[in-house]
Amino acid sequence: MADKGAILRALIDKGEHFVAGDCYSAITGRICEHVGFPAVYIGGHACSAFHYAVPDNGVFSQVEMIDQASRIANVLNIPLIADADTLGETVADAYHFTRRYIQQGIAGFHVEDERNPKHSKHVNGLWSIADQQARIDAARRAQKDSGQDFVIIARCDELYPSEGGGGGTGNFDEAVKRGHAYLEAGADVVFYPPGPAAVPDLIKVFGSKVVTMGFSVPGTGFNMATGGWVTAAANHIKMMRELMNEGQVKSANYDFPEKYELIDHPLYDGLIEEWADKTGRQSRPNHAP
C-alpha cells in the first residue's frame, strides 16, 4: 500500500496552498479525485449524518469513522484526511485509534481539544493543554511505531465560544498559547474553528502552519472542504417529494458521462468479457444500466 501520509506531507511541504476536496462516501471521494483535487477530507458531521443519521456531538464513535474513512481511502490514489474528533477518552485510545487510521490507509486526521460530549447542550470546556499535548504525543508515537508517515492536525476550539456551541472562551492569547503547545507536542499544523475572522492574525503567528475547514484564506497551508452532504440530502428530499406528490421525479439526473468510470464499470466488464471469451461463453456489447 502506498504511504498516503508521505504523499500528504509532500503536498504540504511544497508550500503551495491547496484544497482537500469534500467527500463523505467512496463515490464522492472518487469524484474529488476525478475532477483533480490533490487530497480529500471527510468531516465528522458529514460522516455521522450521511451514514448513521446521528449528530456529531459525542454520539458518533471513532470506530464508525474509521469504518467509513477506510472505504474511501481504499478506492483512492490521493490522500484522505479524516476528522478524528477527540480520539477517544484516554491516551491509550489516542494511540490505538491512530494506529487503526494508519492501518486503513488514511493519510492524516485532526484531533480536537473540546471535552466530550462536544458540540452539545453540555457546557464542557476544553481539555487542559497538558492533556491535549499527551493525546497528540500518543498519536505521534503510534505513527512512529507504524513505520509510516501520518499528518496530525491539531484542532483548537478556544476561539469557538460556548455561546456559539463550542467549548472555548474566545481568548486569542490562549488560542495562540495552545497552538504553540500542540505543535511542540508533535502536531504538524493547527486549525481554529469556527470562522475566518481570526485567521489573518493567526497567520502572523503561525504562517502556513494554520489550516482551515470549509473556507480558504490566502497564506494558510490548505483548506479542508466540507458540507456537500447537506446539498445531497436536500436534493434527495426534493426528489422524493416530487415522486410522492407527482408520481415522478422531474428534477432527477439518472445518467451523466462519468457515471460508469467512477465505479470502475469498464474494468469489471472487461474482466467478465475476457472470461466469457476464454471459456467459450456468450458476451454482449451492452450491459445493465
Known catalytic residues are 56
Could you tell me which residues come within 8 angstroms of residue 105 by beta carbon, excluding any fewer than 6 positions away?
1, 4, 70, 73, 74, 80
Whose grid coordinates read 481568548? Answer: 171
Buried b / exposed e along 44-82 (16+ C-beta atoms within 10 A): bbbbbbbbbeeebbbebebebbbebbbebbebbebbbbb
In DSSP notation, 163-202 reads: GGTSSB---HHHHHHHHHHHHHHT-SEEE--S-STTHHHH
- The CA R_g of the chain, rounded to the nearest whole Å, is 21
CA distance 118 to 56: 8
| Measured distance CA(132)–CA(86) in Å, rounded | 9
DSSP state of 75: T
Residues 6+ apart with CB under 8 A from 229: 24, 46, 49, 50
DSSP 87-104: -SSSHHHHHHHHHHHHHT
In terms of C-beta density within 10 A (0-12 exposed, 13-18 middle, 19 or more buried), how is residue 244 classed?
Answer: exposed
